[in-house]
Amino acid sequence: MRRCAAVLLILVLAVPPSLFAADEPTLAGYSPRSSQAEREWESKFRVIPDPANLREDMRRLSARPHHVGSAYDKDNADWILARFKEWGLDAHIETFDVLFPTPKVRMLEMIEPTKYTAKLEEPGVAIDPTSNQKAEQLPTYNAYSIDGDVTAPLVFVNYGLPEDYEQLDRLGISVKGAIVIAKYYHSWRGVKPKVAAEHGAIGCLIYSEPKDDGYTRDVVFPQGPMRNPDGVQRGSVMDFASASPGDPLTPGVGATADAKRLSLKEAKSLSKIPVLPISYGDAQPLLAALKGQMAPDEWRGTLPIPYHVGPGPAKVHLKLEFNWDIKPVNDVIAKIPGSIAPDEWIIRGNHHDAWVNGAEDPVSGTSPLLEEARALGLLLKQGWKPRRTIIYAAWDGEEPMLLGSTEWVETHAEELRQRAAVYINTDGNDRGLFQMGGSHSLEQFINGVARDIDDPETKMTVWQRSHLSQIANAKPEDRKELRQRADLRIEALGSGTDFTGFLDHLGIASLNLGYGGEDEQGIYHSIYDDFYWYTHFSDTEFVYGRALSQTIGTSVMRLADAEVLPYDFVDFADTVEKYTKDLEKLLADKQEEIRERNQELDEGVFKATFDPRRPTVAPAHEEVPPHLNFAPLENAEEMLTHSATRYQKALSQKQAGLSEIQIETLRALNAKLIDSERKLTNEDGLPRRPWYKHLLYAPGVYSGYGVKTVPGVREGIEQKRYSEAEQEILRVSKALEQESALIDSAAQLLEQAGH
Ligand SMILES: [Zn+2]
């Protein structure tokens, strides 16, 4: 109901046509005159990014392996610094010292019923020159796995998620004392050893199943884009979601040279059991040697073997030892000081480190960042003066787990809390649709930017293309909203890339953006993610790289130049209303599911379906979850909608006169707006994970990168801690009430301005 009212309001409050510059609407937060000037500068900006430069920057940055601590990682940092300076920006490198383990011993063998020694090796291919840089490549491994030497029967656990272990319980299979083998994907990889350890496993293997990113989806590399039989996905298994990302030895504080460090034994975010990633070439003989029950239908992949669960008779020996070294990470930071509001910061970042050569991850995002910086440098020389301070950051150490960005955020926490208005992140880029994730107070803003960017393939705007493709793929019941709502909904942010410290720890409104979705890829975190792969199988003409530069550069400028920061709370309130309904439905569904299962147990359904040759264990009778009181959340959310509408109206009515409002008033107003995301945090943090302070967005403890919205309440319900969920409803409601009060006070400032 309220949603339709909000849409109407937007139409009614639109600026009268006489104020339009050409036929373009006045930008939110701008007076008509400054909006016109801004649009002119933005148009000048958008013609600058050049695909030829993007290609050359990628070739240079991905020419050699450049993981944390490597020679070329430092070389790249110095090269990026020199570029920033060459373009006239005030730039420096900020270095932190972090724990970064690399493999010393990696051994995996099957000792029963037959012998097999895993290769654990990705061979170079002749046609792809950088794949042969053996001496500089990090071996295949999972960073922050503990050392270990274990021998045990093997059990296949599907994707290794909590619900997979419920299935195993039903099959009467325990992983206690076993080594598990799980498939990659469907959760962040570190969740797999975490859940395995919680169920008593003593070791964990993770393999890349061809059904997910191998030959089932397309031809394998180098003839095609997919993972070949020897390709392995490296990656971090640091338990960042339950503890914190960044350096495990300095949680919560910057890993500066003189920081107090935990001992390795005290570090909370290492895996609990040894874990190793393997290729499907190495996984196949192990899986083929499993017997016992057949794996459930949905668990089976497309290797030419019957998928059994085990345990055994396959017995494997896994031995891992790491060099637990402290290594430097080098963040490259460039600053453009603001001319009117230097203490309000717009920050933009993408990482520069990779697991190996990393042309796609991260360089396809780093190169567009560099083109933006070059273009902004040119505009500065032509007389453009951004109102706010702009900071460009090329982060190091993202791959091991957001090391460079987290340490920078922790080091500068105090300043950032006061000054940072928005953080914009990218992490790589591909060909396809514009993908928007972020804080919902920026939903309207980023929709506006997307309406001004042309899609390289269809020539419609990237917003139109996303809108129509969402209609094409929508469920019938969602199409009406898609056609009526002014803005496309943006995804809430989980984690897995460098916005985490900004958003989750400090409560800085953030966006995570990129293009993609049109090409299959199976080279993630392997030696084959390189220039050859990218220039044959992804954005080969670098036109989506240019679109990314245009999109992010426009966003940065528009945020930096607005008289009033373009946050909007109507879409935000609408999202909170949706989340409240989602939570109510989550609980109702759970109650219904358990009620139904209990009834089936009483009716004898499980006795009737029991097959003595394939014995299963009936689930236990469970207590139906109690009703929770969502009223405080509903009340807070209504208050929020009211305040959001009031603010939108006040801003719209004052738009024509924004340039006459006193600078002191604007400063006070913008300070309130900057504070609006902070109000959604709580200093005590989420239950059992105090580093995570945002009450609306967090990575899931059992999903990792996947977001949990209103995490305290949602995870309380999911993990059956109902009284905790009820407490969290109160905490979230209180924060929303304070948010409402803040928005009201911002509206009041505007209403009174100029009187
Ligand atoms: Zn990345």
How many Å lie between the centroid of ligand 1 and the Cα of residue 399?
A: 6
Q: Summarize pLDDT for 413-462 with one digit per residue, the tens.
A: 999 999 999 999 999 999 999 999 999 999 999 999 999 999 999 999 99
Does pLDDT of 4 surpass 50? no
How many Å lie between the centroid of ligand 1 and the Cα of residue 367?
A: 13
Q: Summarize pLDDT for 126-138 with one digit per residue, the tens.
A: 999 999 999 999 9
- Given phi > 0 = left and psi -120 to 50 = alpha, else beta, which region is 516? left
Mean pLDDT of 42-46: 98
Q: How confident is the model at residue 24 (pLDDT cuts 50, 70, 90)?
A: confident
| The pair of three-digit structure tokens given for residue 260, joined into one six-digit string | 């107090």
The sign one gets for the Cα dihedral 330, 255, 514, 452 is: negative
The sign one gets for the Cα dihedral 291, 294, 297, 298 is: negative
In whole angstroms, what is the distance from residue 352 CA to residue 73 CA? 8
466 and 432 Cβ atoms separated by less than 8 Å: no
How many Å lie between the centroid of ligand 1 and the Cα of residue 653?
A: 43
Mean pLDDT of 496-523: 97
150 and 317 Cβ atoms separated by less than 8 Å: yes
How many Å lie between the centroid of ligand 1 and the Cα of residue 523?
A: 13
How many Å lie between the centroid of ligand 1 and the Cα of residue 221?
A: 21
What is the structure's pLDDT at 704?
78
Q: Summarize pLDDT for 63-94 with one digit per residue, the tens.
A: 999 999 999 999 999 999 999 999 999 999 99
How many Å lie between the centroid of ligand 1 and the Cα of residue 266?
A: 28
What is the structure's pLDDT at 129?
96
In whole angstroms, what is the distance from residue 9 CA to residue 115 CA? 71
What is the structure's pLDDT at 6?
37
How many Å lie between the centroid of ligand 1 and the Cα of residue 563?
A: 34
> How many Cβ atoms from other residues are within 10 Å of residue 475's Cβ?
6
Mean pLDDT of 593-610: 96
137 and 356 Cβ atoms separated by less than 8 Å: yes
| The pair of three-digit structure tokens given for residue 598, joined into one six-digit string | 């209990």
Q: How confident is the model at residue 754 (pLDDT cuts 50, 70, 90)?
A: confident
What is the DSSP track for 238-278? Answer: --TTTS-SS-TTSTTS---TT-----GGG-SSS-SS-EEEE
How many Å lie between the centroid of ligand 1 and the Cα of residue 310?
A: 35
Q: Give φ, ψ of 175 to 5 degrees.
A: -105, 10
Q: Summarize pLDDT for 705-722 with one digit per residue, the tens.
A: 789 999 999 999 999 999
Query: If DSSP codes are grouped into helix, strand and coil, which group holds residue 39?
Result: helix
What is the structure's pLDDT at 541?
98
What is the structure's pLDDT at 160?
98
Residues 6 or more apart whose CB falls under 8 angstroms from that of 270 comprise 144, 145, 146, 238, 239, 248, 264
Q: How confident is the model at residue 19 (pLDDT cuts 50, 70, 90)?
A: very low
| The pair of three-digit structure tokens given for residue 61, joined into one six-digit string | 């940055």
Q: How confident is the model at residue 22 (pLDDT cuts 50, 70, 90)?
A: low
pTM, 2 dp:
0.95
- Closest C-alpha among 137, 28, 739 to residue 445: 28
How many Å lie between the centroid of ligand 1 and the Cα of residue 397?
A: 10
The sign one gets for the Cα dihedral 530, 536, 537, 543 is: positive
How many Å lie between the centroid of ligand 1 and the Cα of residue 606?
A: 47
How many Å lie between the centroid of ligand 1 and the Cα of residue 362?
A: 5
Q: Which of 2-16, 19-33, 183-197 has the lowest mean pLDDT?
A: 2-16
In whole angstroms, what is the distance from residue 194 CA to residue 438 CA? 28
Percent of the chain with pLDDT over 70: 97
How many Å lie between the centroid of ligand 1 and the Cα of residue 1?
A: 40
How many Å lie between the centroid of ligand 1 and the Cα of residue 398?
A: 7
For 144, 334, 340, 389, 672, the CA distances from 337, given in Å and listed in that order, are 39, 10, 9, 4, 21
Q: What 8-state DSSP symbol labels residue 150? A: E
Q: Summarize pLDDT for 95-107 with one digit per residue, the tens.
A: 999 999 999 999 9
Q: Summarize pLDDT for 283-326 with one digit per residue, the tens.
A: 999 999 999 999 999 999 999 999 999 999 999 999 999 999 99
Does pLDDT of 748 surpass 50? yes
Q: How confident is the model at residue 755 (pLDDT cuts 50, 70, 90)?
A: low
How many Å lie between the centroid of ligand 1 and the Cα of residue 351?
A: 7
What is the structure's pLDDT at 202?
98
How many Å lie between the centroid of ligand 1 and the Cα of residue 549?
A: 17
How many Å lie between the centroid of ligand 1 and the Cα of residue 564?
A: 33
What is the structure's pLDDT at 110?
98
How many Å lie between the centroid of ligand 1 and the Cα of residue 527?
A: 14
How many Å lie between the centroid of ligand 1 and the Cα of residue 470?
A: 26
Does pLDDT of 176 surpass 80? yes
Mean pLDDT of 591-607: 96
